[in-house]
Structure 1
Amino acid sequence: MERYVDGFVIPVLNEQLDAYREMASEAGKLWIKHGALEYFEGVGDDMEPDMDGMPMVTFPQLADTESDETVVFSFIVFESRDHRDEVNAKVMEDPTMDSDNYEEEMPFDPERMAYGGFRSIVSYE
């Protein structure tokens, strides 16, 4: 089966990381409730890896983070692109997503979030 993944790279202020974790925890429950196969949120840890001199762009460079920010790497796994579209439609229709339910601002700047949908070309389980 060809899996499909929505991927995200998000710069988050260090002081907002706990708020982001809370938001992500609720979001993860919501996506799983509506059929996503896996939901993952990870915070940057080894952001300047030693690649034995190999040139590369690091995630902080990619996300253009400031000194008071970190990078969150996230992904959601689906059965297929069609399945992704079905799950995301259900999530958006869920009453939890009603903007009136959000008392606080997002704990990150959505305009700086990088997002993409990816079809799998190699997958091992």
Structure 2
Amino acid sequence: MSYVDGFVAAVPTANKEKYIQHARDAAAVFKDHGVLKMVECWGDDVPDGKVTSFPIAVQCQPDETVVFSWLVWPSREVRNQAMPKIMEDPRLKPDVNPMPFDGKRLIYGGFSVLIDE
């Protein structure tokens, strides 16, 4: 069964094009290490909640946009073997492909797939 890594971040709206380039460059690295699919989504209907929401979770500021993305792996095992190599890949080093957002407010996690229709 496939495995999914999910991410939510607040990206300065002015950095949209930088984010797209950052994500494209990262996608090449992830795919080289086994990712089957990478999806990046730019928020356009992401309301603030009263108790919780995507914007609250990432402390989204008025000049930022919520990004929601995920990676589909063949399995958790493939992901676990690939991740150390990805983190060491020189194409993802900050001086080569800097994150155009505050990585401290990035939310991420790994998920076992329950339904895939």
TM-score of the two chains, using structure 1 as the length reference = 0.81
RMSD: 2.1
Indicate which of 99, 106, 109 corresponds to 1:113: 106
Cα distance in structure 1, aligned partners of 2:105 and 2:94: 20
Q: Which moved more, 1:80-89 or 1:110-119?
A: 80-89
What does residue 28 of structure 2 align with?
A: 29
Aligned-pair CA distance for 1:58? 3.4
Contact 2:9 2:68 in 1 (8 A): yes
Cα distance in structure 2, aligned partners of 1:31 and 1:44: 23
Which runs of no fewer than 5 residues in structure 2 stay unpaired?
none
Which runs of no fewer than 5 residues in structure 1 stay unpaired?
49-54
Q: How does 1:93-104 map to 2 (within 5 A)?
A: 93-102=88-97
Runs of 4+ deviating beyond 6 Å: none
What does residue 52 of structure 1 align with?
A: none
Aligned-pair CA distance for 1:96? 1.6
| 1:8 equivalenced with 2:3 (yes/no) | no
| 1:68 equivalenced with 2:60 (yes/no) | no
Q: How does 1:36-47 map to 2 (within 5 A)?
A: 36-47=35-46
Cα distance in structure 2, aligned partners of 1:92 and 1:66: 28
How many residue pairs match? The answer is 116
Aligned-pair CA distance for 1:56? 7.6
Which has more radius of gyration? 1
Identity, in percent, stands at: 39
| 1:78 equivalenced with 2:73 (yes/no) | yes
Cα distance in structure 1, aligned partners of 2:44 and 2:29: 26
Cα distance in structure 2, aligned partners of 1:90 and 1:26: 16
The change in CA–CA distance for 1:100 and 1:12 in structure 2 (over 3 A counts) is: closer
Residue identity matched to 1:69 = E
Cα distance in structure 1, aligned partners of 2:82 and 2:38: 12
Cα distance in structure 1, aligned partners of 2:8 and 2:25: 18
Q: Which moved more, 1:35-44 or 1:56-65?
A: 56-65
